[in-house]
A and B are shown apart, each in its own frame.
Chain A
Amino acid sequence: MKCEVCSELLEEYLDGELAPQDREQVGAHLIACVECSESFAALTAEQELFARYDREIEVPPFLWTRIAAHTTNPAKRSWLASLFGKTSLAGALAVLLLALALGVIYLRSKPKTPEPKLATTTPTAPNPDPLPKSVESPAPKRDVIASHQKPRVRVKPPVARTVTDQSDVLSSDLAYLDVDEQDTALHIEQSQILLRSIKNVQISDTDEEIDVTYDKALSRRLLNENVVLRRDAEMKAKYPTKTLLADLEPFLIDIANLPDRARPQDVREIKERVQKTEIVAALLDYQDRGANNR
């Protein structure tokens, strides 16, 4: 193959869109030609750069509430929703009213005997929580739409409060990890779930093809992340992380390269390798150590 031809096909080669025959020829040319292999390395580096792109955009929790307001069957909306017109408002209001009512009931039914005072509690310390602990807080925002149903409110018997030292509670919390470690932790978790699902896939004895469209798309995304995170780990001399990501990468490549409807033997091969190499255990171990050490 001539360099001009190779150069024209390079982007499609990178994109994995070449026909098998062309792919082989370009691959063979890249081994032999220094110039073309340098161009390909530059293209790959460029791709890695774009893989680092983080829009820093999240799906806001209220978005589903707004969508649900347009997609929920109006007949099923609560009387409060029809009264106020806005589902989210009605739901939130219903929860609030119920919480207040239960709070009042609780306060009225509270025994008059004073709570036993603990030695560590300052008698004059104001109660930071004006509502009794027995009433659970309303559902989190993302679940507001579910508040058409009756909110689950559990009344617990009053319990003497103790003052405990919580200074170390957040020491291993995700919030204290740096951004790279959070990204890696999330990446490892998602990869582990993906590989476990491959490990657990049921393959029938017939030659029926397996739809792996979703797994493949997920693997492509994880593969891109993996390349970036592995390089970052290497640059920051985090060798155990780098080694783990390097071990993970071949699995992601293999899953990403499966056709949408994969042959059972192809899936079986990956599944067996996942089982044999114990990569899932290594990923789980990383997650456990991460929770304790980082």
Chain B
Amino acid sequence: MTGAFAGTLMNTSADLVTRVCQGDADAFRLIFERYSRPVISFIYDMVNDRALAEELTQETFVRAFRAIHTMRAETKLSTWLFGIARNVARESLRARARAKNHVDLADKSVMDLSDDKPVPVEGLLSKELNDLIRRSLATLDEDKRLVFTLKVLHQCSYEEIAAITGFSLAKLKTDLHRARAEMRKKISPYAGVGYEV
């Protein structure tokens, strides 16, 4: 039986993949409409650059289209797409690092978050909170940012994260724990969630 929601729309992800493989261009558009938002958000979390995120999302879907016939039947489409997005983002980050052009990550304002005056969470405007999280995220190293983004911001399961990243369960748990601790350290002066776990 097909998925309840997808079934209603007569388009499960598996159906769409099959249709794309059979040359149905509309099916790939449906895949894009369904997954473009999570994919662009994920890439933006990783590269912290809006224009670059758009470009890399384009690259992700083009690569996905070209390789979709190689996708294994048991693989979840979302996991597979996130895996491609992760590779595309990683390549871009590597290129940027090689060019010694990591402006956002080296931005001094990012490193000086905790020097600012604490503001209770109720006092934080949503824009301030968004900026705070975005800048804090940029201070994490790539692996930690990756698992934190997938788990906390995209609610992927550990199993899915392992499939997307290729990390062992032990590594992803350690990275996730450390990432949470670092994010907490950055955010607690503002959010009043200062405690030790």
User: Contact residues of A with B, CB < 8 Å?
Assistant: 7, 10-12, 15, 17, 38-39, 42-43, 45-47, 49-50, 52-60, 63-64, 66-68, 70-73, 145, 179, 193-194, 196-198, 200-204, 208-215, 217-218, 220-221, 224, 267
CA distance A214 to B28 in the complex (A): 17
Query: A residues within 8 A CB of B1?
Result: 202-204, 208-211
Query: A residues within 8 A CB of B184?
Result: 46
Find A49's partner among B23, B53, B176, B191 (CB 8 Å cutoff): B191
Q: Tell me if A10 and B197 are in contact (CB < 8 A).
A: yes
1/0 contact trace for B1-37 toward A, CB 8 Å?
1111111100011000000000101001100110011
- Known A-B contacts A46-B191, A210-B3, A218-B5; the reply to A57 vs B44 at CB < 8 A is yes
Find A197's partner among B7, B40, B44, B180 (CB 8 Å cutoff): B7
In this assembly, does B95 line the interface, its C-beta being within 8 Å of a C-beta of chain A?
Answer: no
Q: Can you show 21 pairs from A to B with CB atoms below 8 A apart?
A: A15-B158, A42-B195, A46-B193, A54-B130, A59-B37, A64-B36, A67-B32, A67-B58, A67-B61, A71-B28, A71-B61, A194-B5, A197-B8, A198-B4, A209-B1, A210-B4, A211-B2, A211-B3, A212-B5, A214-B13, A220-B155
Find A201's partner among B4, B28, B44, B195 (CB 8 Å cutoff): B4
In this assembly, does B57 line the interface, its C-beta being within 8 Å of a C-beta of chain A?
Answer: yes
CA distance A116 to B93 in the complex (A): 66
CA distance A57 to B37 in the complex (A): 9
Q: From residue B185, how far is it (CB to closest CB) to chain A in Å?
A: 12
For A56, give the chain B residue with the smallest CB separation.
B130
Query: A residues within 8 A CB of B28?
Result: 71
CA distance A113 to B13 in the complex (A): 58
Query: A residues within 8 A CB of B183?
Result: 50
CA distance A11 to B148 in the complex (A): 12
Query: A residues within 8 A CB of B195?
Result: 38-39, 42
- Counting chain B CB atoms within 10 Å of each CB, the highest count among A73, A194, A215 belongs to A215
Given pairs A39-B197, A63-B40, 8 additional interface contacts (CB within 8 A):
A46-B191, A50-B133, A53-B134, A55-B41, A57-B40, A215-B3, A215-B5, A217-B78
For A258, give the chain B residue with the smallest CB separation.
B4
Q: Tell me if A49 and B5 are in contact (CB < 8 A).
A: no
Cross-chain pair count, CB within 8 angstroms:
141
In this assembly, does B152 line the interface, its C-beta being within 8 Å of a C-beta of chain A?
Answer: yes
Q: Tell me if A214 and B155 are in contact (CB < 8 A).
A: no
Q: Tell me if B6 and A214 are in contact (CB < 8 A).
A: yes
Q: How many residues of B contact A (CB 8 A)?
A: 55
In this assembly, does B177 line the interface, its C-beta being within 8 Å of a C-beta of chain A?
Answer: yes
For B173, give the chain A residue with the smallest CB separation.
A12
Q: Tell me if B54 and A49 are in contact (CB < 8 A).
A: no
CA distance A59 to B29 in the complex (A): 13
Q: Tell me if B40 and A59 are in contact (CB < 8 A).
A: yes
Q: Tell me if B62 and A67 are in contact (CB < 8 A).
A: yes
Q: In chain B between 131 and 182, which residues have their CB closer than 8 angstroms to a CB of chain A?
A: 133-134, 151-153, 155, 157-158, 173, 176-177, 180
Q: In chain B between 32 and 72, which residues have their CB closer than 8 angstroms to a CB of chain A?
A: 32-33, 36-37, 40-41, 44-45, 50, 53-54, 57-58, 61-62, 65
Query: A residues within 8 A CB of B78?
Result: 217
Q: From residue B107, how far is it (CB to closest CB) to chain A in Å?
A: 17
Q: Tell me if B40 and A212 are in contact (CB < 8 A).
A: no
Query: A residues within 8 A CB of B53?
Result: 57
Query: B residues within 8 A CB of A10?
Result: 197
Query: A residues within 8 A CB of B133?
Result: 49-50, 53
Query: A residues within 8 A CB of B193?
Result: 42, 45-46, 49
Q: Tell me if B8 and A211 are in contact (CB < 8 A).
A: no
Q: From residue A142, how far is it (CB to closest CB) to chain B in Å?
A: 9
Query: B residues within 8 A CB of A210?
Result: 1, 3-4
- Counting chain A CB atoms within 10 Å of each CB, the highest count among B29, B45, B76, B151 belongs to B29
